[in-house]
């Protein structure tokens, strides 16, 4: 998700404006071309060396003055004072129906929840409603739409917060780039668990076939109990006997 730059605040805008103006005031001064021509044509022209020396001292004094009078801290303080004035004026203008002489200022930040919730549902001046009914209706519709959009934004914020919490919870269950992780232990199609179950099914089928091939009764006519442990032991003994009797392993 691409992150958009934050909207500029009133203090930042005012401080930027003050800084730009103080920068203009601190620019070095140079004689204009017309003055230079007049000085050159004069019988008592001021020497160029004197002009440059005076300009150097004057510009140096201007620079020192601007550093002392217009430091960044002072610009920030003035910007904050302007912001306080804007804020108090905005609070006064959205004070409600009792504020019969006020209005809604253009500087009010309608992207904030508090500002939207403070807006009256209808225009609070009865005289304006009677004189401008279409504008009053347009205002009421705009406030209603803005309130609905603000509610939707709150719901989206809550949803994003829940999804982020879920992401934090399931993060340990995620696999890495190579596919290794706890997900390998889950039962999925064509996964390791399914392959292991398939091998067990084949093994059980083989064991079942061996059991069915055994005689149901012993030679003496009595029923014979079948023990899987005994079958495994006999199979191991048979393989050992075959290994010992192999001429390739133990040539005679």
pLDDT of residue 150: 92
Structure tokens at 106: 């253009």
pLDDT of residue 159: 94
Tell me the pLDDT of the chain (252 aa) as tens digits. Answer: 445 666 677 788 888 888 888 888 888 888 888 888 888 888 888 888 888 899 899 888 988 888 888 888 888 888 888 888 877 776 665 554 444 455 666 667 788 888 888 888 887 777 777 888 888 888 889 889 999 999 999 999 999 999 999 888 877 776 666 655 555 556 666 777 778 888 888 888 777 777 666 665 555 555 555 566 666 667 777 766 766 666 665 555
- Phi, psi torsion values for 179, nearest 5 degrees: 85, 5
Q: Which residues are CB-neighbours of 173 under 8 A, at least 6 positions away?
A: 181, 182, 183
pLDDT of residue 1: 45
DSSP H stretches of helix in 70-191 = 72-93, 113-118, 126-131, 133-170
CA nearest to 118, candidates 126, 109, 129, 127: 109
pLDDT of residue 158: 94
pLDDT of residue 97: 42
pLDDT of residue 227: 62
pLDDT of residue 160: 94
Q: Count Cβ atoms below 10 Å from residue 29 Cβ, excluding itself.
A: 10
């Amino acid at each position: 998700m691409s992150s958009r730059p934050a909207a500029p605040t009133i203090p930042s805008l005012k401080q930027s404006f003050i800084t730009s103006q103080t920068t203009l005031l601190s620019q070095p001064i140079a004689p204009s071309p017309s003055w230079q021509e007049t000085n050159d044509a004069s019988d008592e022209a001021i020497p160029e060396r004197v002009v440059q020396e005076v300009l150097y001292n004057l510009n140096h004094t201007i620079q020192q003055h601007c550093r002392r009078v217009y430091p960044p801290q002072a610009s920030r303080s003035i910007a904050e004072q302007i912001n306080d004035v804007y804020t108090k004026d905005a609070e006064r203008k959205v004070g409600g129906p009792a504020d019969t002489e006020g209005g809604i200022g253009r500087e009010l930040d309608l992207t904030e929840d508090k500002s939207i919730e403070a807006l009256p549902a209808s225009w609070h001046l009865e005289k304006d409603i009677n004189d401008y009914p279409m504008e009053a209706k347009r205002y009421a519709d705009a406030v209603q739409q803005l309130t609905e959009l603000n509610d939707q934004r709150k719901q989206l914020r809550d949803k994003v917060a829940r999804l982020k919490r879920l992401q934090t919870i399931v993060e340990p269950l995620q696999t890495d780039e190579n596919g290794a992780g706890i997900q390998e232990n889950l039962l999925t199609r064509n996964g390791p668990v399914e392959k292991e179950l398939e091998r067990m099914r084949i093994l059980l089928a083989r064991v079942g076939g061996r059991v069915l091939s055994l005689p149901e009764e012993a030679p003496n006519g009595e029923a014979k109990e079948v023990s899987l442990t005994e079958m495994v032991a006999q199979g191991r003994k048979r393989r050992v006997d075959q290994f010992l009797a192999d001429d390739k392993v133990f040539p005679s």
